Amino acid sequence: MWVDCSYSMPYDSLMSNATAPVACLRCGRKLTASAAAGYGPTCLRKIRAAAITAARADFTPEQQAKADELIRDGGIVPTARPGIFQAVSSKGDAVYLVHPAACNCSAGLRARRPCYHSLAARILSVASRRSLAKAA
């Protein structure tokens, strides 16, 4: 059996996708190692910092300090369900289910604004994102 192999694609067209330089979505610089994220390391740090600042905007300084302490002490951990965390109460006698938008602690259930557990969940959610294409 004879197969016609007379048609061949030019070498340049085969390699054009593999050699195309990938640029940062924010600053346009050439990416080398971190091309999967779409951003360079400096731009990614700036985007994450801006997202964390935006997440903190609706909270009082006291809530921000409590959320930072909760994260530092390891009092909030992710669950098997995406976006859901478990947080320990201030006294250490209760565990709450926390989402970045809501919490089942007493302050989270009755207050007009989210509690500091929710802020801690927002910060962890932003910090753990693999791709921040939506944030740009």
Q: Are residues 63 and 102 in the same domain?
A: yes
Q: CA–CA separation, 30 vs 22, rounded Å?
A: 6
Q: Are residues 52 and 92 in the same domain?
A: no
- Is 43:31 a contact under the CB 8 Å cutoff? no
- Are 136 and 47 spatial neighbours (Cβ–Cβ below 8 Å)? yes
**CA angle, corner 53, sides to 101 and 100, nearest 5?**
15
Residue 62: both structure tokens together: 């006291």
| pLDDT of the residue at 131 | 42
Task: Say if 9 falls within a structural domain.
Answer: no
Average pLDDT over every residue of 110-133: 81
Residue 133 has pLDDT above 50, yes or no: no
- pLDDT tens digit sequence for 39-74: 888 888 898 899 889 889 889 999 999 999 999 999
46 and 83, same domain (yes or no): no
Domain that holds residue 63: 59-130
Domain-located, residue 13: no
Distance CA 53, CA 75 (A): 21
pLDDT at residue 130 greater than cutoff 60: no
Residue 30: per-residue pLDDT: 87
Average pLDDT, the chain: 81
Which ranges of the chain does DSSP label H, i.e. alpha helix?
11-19, 41-56, 61-72, 106-110, 116-128
- Per-residue pLDDT band for 5 (boundaries 50, 70, 90) equals low
Residue 88 resides in a domain: yes
Same domain (yes/no): 65, 51: no
> Pick from 31, 57, 83: which residue ends a domain?
57
Q: Which residues make Cβ contacts (< 8 Å) with residue 107, sequence separation at least 6?
A: 115
Q: Is the pLDDT at 33 greater than 80, yes or no?
A: no
* Residue 63 and residue 122 in one domain: yes
pLDDT for residue 32 is more than 50? yes
Q: Is residue 31 part of a domain?
A: yes
48 & 99 share domain: no
In a domain, 12, yes or no: no
* 1 part of a folded domain: no
Number of domains in the chain: 2
Q: Model-level pTM?
A: 0.71
Residue range 87-99, pLDDT digits in tens: 999 899 999 999 9
Statement to judge: residues 46 and 71 lie in one domain: no
